[in-house]
Structure 1
Amino acid sequence: PTGRVVGSVKVTEADGKPAVNAEVIVYLVGFAEPPAGTPTVIQQKGRRFVPDLVAITVGDSVSFPNRDPFLHNVFSQSPPRKFDLGSFKKGESKDRQFATPGVVDVYCNIHPEMAATVLVLPNRRHTRVGADGRFTLDGVPPGTWTVFAYTRRAAKPASSKVTVTAGADAPLELAVVRGGEVPHTNKYGEKYRREPPPTYR
């Protein structure tokens, strides 16, 4: 028998104002589970990664389909999973498997404004927080665990210990502060060049 962790996450900006449209993942660590085996999808659409934050389990894969009418080049220099998918056009998709736990920051080598994060976690006890700030972690083994709330642009995830008993809900409230986008370089470790203005015919 397992229990649940049920609660909410409050996200604010550095100035104390409520964060708007902040994607938040709640998860816990301390034990390992096999991956679900269902590929997670991060679209490249409108010069953005959609969604820009996902959580997967070690061994899972992420697909990166290009929905834009121009090239993208998805890459990461994060130690848990360095990769470079090369340039590919609209309608094409490339996958990568993630075998090491950690935080993987993903960018486009062509468009510096594109940024996403893949949380590679040891188990499947993770969930996306709803628009109302509420979450439920199902299937949590009895015991005392540290639960984390992660959002992009936060200096570090919020965390708190919670004790779970079989067949019961453990309440938890978390708060995380979000900062600005962290500057990054292209896949060559260089500053991005400014794109030329579009040509209209």
Structure 2
Amino acid sequence: MTARLGFAARCWVITLVTGCTVPARLDAQGAVRGQLRVIETATGSSAILTDAVIYLEADGERASAPTSATAKASVGMRRREFVPRVQTIGIGGAVAFPNQDPYSHNVFSNSALGAFDLGLYRTGKNRAATFPKAGVYAIYCNIHARMVSYVVAVPTPYVSRAQSSGTFTVSGVPAGTWRLHVWHERAPEHVETIRVPAAGLSDIVVALDGRGYVPKPHTNKFGQPYATSRADRY
């Protein structure tokens, strides 16, 4: 009976932290390390691997409130660009979009996961949006057609970004069975089940197929093409 109560207590703690419903040991945490590459055609620019998002989701995991480390994030607007181009946030967390340009911006998303429109605001102003569901939100500016960003909302604190070399590390992962998610805008998301031992895992290799990637223009917040006479002029 004592052993059963101890196991239940450990599972209860894991559930609070990550929504995990599979056996895991808080005293057995290791790092998950791997190597990412994007398979591409010979033409065009190479993928920026630092834009890749890697996260671990436990089997049967329920969406949980974001931790203090994943509840808030920021994407600035500088020189008619979103910086960074890709950002992560916990489910229900808020991302601020400060305007650091000398002209106005109108941040919006028409994502089915949770559309929003922050309206037009000037330099020095800051507005934020919340991200209620897990998934990838494409973010645009209604004034400047070339401004594109992605916010990836994740249901877990075990999230990381790839280095420029493609290596990645997710630290402090409890031993157990996890679903590994690897996302990059140029390829379909990669999902696989992995078993993480107490000592961690370091032999993961992921190759994303980006050969079908074709950049496409997007519409404005009204679903209409941007006016070429004024696009990106202010």
Common fold by TM > 0.5: yes
Q: Give 1 or 2 for the bigger CA radius of gyration.
A: 2
The structure 2 residue matched to 1:10, chosen from 31, 37, 41, is 37
SS of the residue 2:118 aligns to: strand
- Residues 8 and 105 (structure 1 numbering): CA distance in 2 closer, same or farther, change over 3 Å? same
1-side partners of 2:202 and 2:65: how far apart?
24
Question: Which residue of structure 1 aligns with residue 190 of structure 2?
Answer: 158
Q: Is 1:119–2:146 an aligned residue pair?
A: no
Q: Is 1:131–2:164 an aligned residue pair?
A: yes
What CA deviation, in whole Å up to 9, does each residue of 1:33-54 have, x standing for no partner? 4313352111111111111111
Question: Which residue of structure 2 aligns with residue 34 of structure 1?
Answer: 65
Which of the pair is proportionally richer in helix?
Answer: 2
Question: Which residue of structure 2 aligns with residue 56 of structure 1?
Answer: 89
Question: Which residue of structure 2 aligns with residue 180 of structure 1?
Answer: 214
2-side partners of 1:108 and 1:33: how far apart?
30
Structure 1: segments with no counterpart, 5+ residues: none
How does the TM-score come out when normalised to structure 1? 0.88
- Residues 175 and 92 (structure 1 numbering): CA distance in 2 closer, same or farther, change over 3 Å? same
How does the TM-score come out when normalised to structure 2? 0.77
2-side partners of 1:71 and 1:149: how far apart?
34
- The number of residue pairs the alignment matches comes to 198
Calculate the aligned-residue CA RMSD, in Å.
2.3
Counting aligned pairs with the same residue, the percent is 33
The structure 1 residue matched to 2:120, chosen from 61, 83, 87, is 87
SS of the residue 2:79 aligns to: coil
- Residues 146 and 182 (structure 1 numbering): CA distance in 2 closer, same or farther, change over 3 Å? farther
Counterpart AA for 1:181? P
Structure 2: segments with no counterpart, 5+ residues: 1-27
Counterpart AA for 1:184? H
